[in-house]
Amino acid sequence: MCKGNKFLYQLGRIFFALPFIIFCVLKMVNWQASMESLSQALSMWKNEVGGSFLGSFVGMLQQAELFLMILASLLEGVGGILLLFGIRTRLAAWLLVLFLVPVNILMHPFWFADASSLFPMLSDFSKNIALIGGALLFTAGCCCHICHCQQDSHHMDDRV
């Protein structure tokens, strides 16, 4: 990768990773509030989907709230830290995608929103879609074809 592109790639990687680490730490520091937020989201889903199959699935998720919060924190924190330091960036990006997709659907269901909460929920949902897109770019690994450099198999971003 050309020096200019490599610098921008690393800077973008760091900037992309930092919010995940920050929000993971905030989630842990404010654990009870985070658990309440998850509980409220699951209750809203349960109220919206009722007694359907999806309602039964949401009921199972409600029974696993602590597990879900721990799993989400691990995916977000480990993915963010690995990406920050450029260690196994493809794996890190996939961890963040695995975090973002269900969290986005669960926590920002704009399709259930009333007129007063539609814009904030749609805004957060759309931002997370952009983050998913950014993470997917990192899953592709090095983009050496941009500057026509020889791609070697030992890129900094894939070190163990």
How confident is the model at residue 139, as a pLDDT? 94
Do 132 and 157 contact (CB within 8 A), yes or no?
no
Dihedral angle at the C-alpha atoms of 129, 135, 137, 141, nearest 10 degrees? -170
Which residue from 13, 134, 22 is spatially nearest to 84, judged by alpha carbons? 13
User: C-alpha distances in angstroms, 7 versus 2, 3, 10, 133?
Assistant: 9, 6, 5, 21
pTM of the model: 0.85
In this predicted structure, what is the pLDDT of residue 158?
53
| Tally of domains in the chain | 1
What's the pLDDT at 95? 98
Predicted local confidence at residue 147, as pLDDT: 46
**Where in the sequence is the domain holding 115, given as residue range(s)?**
3-158
Residue 142's pLDDT is what? Answer: 62
Tell me which residues of the chain have a pLDDT lower than 70: 1, 142-160
